[in-house]
Amino acid sequence: MKLCAHCGKERAVLKRPKTAQPMCRECFFALFELEVHNTIVEGQIFKPGDVVAVGASGGKDSTVLAYVLKLLNERYNYGIRLVLLSIDEGITGYRDDSLETVKRNKVQYGLDLTILSYQELYGWTMDEIVKQVGLKSNCTFCGVFRRQALDKGAAMIRANKVVTGHNADDIAETVLMNIMRGDISRLHRCTAITTGATGELPRSKPFKYTYEKEIVMYAFFKKLDYFSTECIYSPNSYRGHARTFLKDLEAIRPSAIIDIIHSGEHYGACEEVQTSVAGTCIRCGYMSSREMCKACVLLEGLRQGQPKLAIGRKENLLQQKPTAASVSLDF
């Protein structure tokens, strides 16, 4: 019988993915929660009086995030108010089911819940968008719309901060994707624990150094209520290639995930490399490095019946043709 490597007394029931150490259940819980707390404190994510919108999808990451933040807020007296914020992308058989999990979490954790839909914000559902663009580029539309929807939703409920369940695996995948795309400006900021810190609505990732496998273990042993089905439109995403590569690396060297994140933290652009400058969209007023934000460009492509023109280098063709009939994102 193997004993826990941390306390040396209790029987080990799991091998921790990050360190490969055998651990008992209670020691695993304690270390998991302490590491998240340390990430929050060192990253200076919260201050007393903050109203924090927790991006809640019903999946393992956001469910564990809401549970742990409520626990830590009470344990360490952060002095913050947590609110669940869910985005309904309009994916039949997936998001409608996962939102039922979020509604149960609302009751289980005693937190307020606000649900905002793509249909309300943009006049489109993801099911309708996929019929237009197919399964190859749909994640581009969903990712852009979801990021903006979270900010819009947080503004509606008067939250001054947003937290998401992005974990260490997600961030390492993003570093790899930006390297493969040669995207210097995003590579420079994708490992930041908080983005938009100088703006009105900072967005933070308390699970920045938390492995996905450990989140699954925590949810399993705590018997948390979460939705485990993968999005029906995600198998063909570009991120999937980076994820497969990262899992192969992790199998050989478990520390590869953290190593990639630390590498990303130390990347810097040379002075002669031109990086984007933040401004505001001329159509909806959302932050953008171009005249029109990506969401408005994508919506213009859908409106014109040429959604694929809104992706990649061809998007400039759409930005040159703003029309009075274009969809507005203003409330």
Averaged pLDDT for residues 227-250: 86
Tell me which of 18-27, 117-126, 271-280 is least confident.
271-280
Q: How far apart are CA 269 and CA 273, in angstroms?
A: 6
pLDDT tens digit sequence for 255-271? 999 999 999 888 765 55
Instruction: Write down the pLDDT at residue 99.
Output: 95
Lowest mean pLDDT segment, chosen from 42-46, 64-68, 86-90, 294-298 = 294-298
Of 67-71, 260-264, 324-328, give the range with the top mean pLDDT: 67-71
pLDDT at 67 over 80: yes
Structure confidence at residue 329 as a pLDDT band (50, 70, 90):
very low
Region 23-34: mean pLDDT is 97
pLDDT, tens only, 172-228: 999 999 888 888 778 878 899 998 877 779 999 999 999 999 999 999 999 999 998
Q: How confident is the model at residue 324 (pLDDT cuts 50, 70, 90)?
A: very low
Residue 328 has pLDDT above 50, yes or no: no
The confidence band for 320, taking pLDDT boundaries of 50, 70 and 90, is low
Q: How confident is the model at residue 275 (pLDDT cuts 50, 70, 90)?
A: low
* Three-state secondary structure of the chain: CCECCCCCCCECCEECCCCCCEECHHHHHHHHHHHHHHHHHHCCCCCCCCEEEEECCCCHHHHHHHHHHHHHHHHHCCCCEEEEEEEECCCCCCHHHHHHHHHHHHHHHCCEEEEEEHHHHHCCCHHHHHHHHCCCCHHHHHHHHHHHHHHHHHHHCCCCEEECCCCHHHHHHHHHHHHHHCCHHHHHHCCCCEECCCCCCCEECCCCCCCHHHHHHHHHHHCCCCCCCCCCCCCCCCHHHHHHHHHHHHHHCCCHHHHHHHHHHCCCCCCCCCCCCCEECCCCCCEECCCCCHHHHHHHHHHCCCHHHHCHHHHHHHHCCCCCCCCCCCC
CA of 66: how far to CAs of 48, 73, 156, 162, in Å? Answer: 18, 10, 20, 12
> Tell me, what amino acid is at 75?
R
pLDDT tens digits for range 138-180: 888 999 999 999 999 999 999 999 999 999 999 999 999 988 8
Q: What is the pLDDT of residue 280?
A: 84
Round to whole Å and give the CA distance between 124 and 299: 9
pLDDT band at 239 (very low <50, low <70, confident <90, very high): confident
Range from 9-23, 66-80, 99-113, 315-329 carrying the lowest mean pLDDT: 315-329
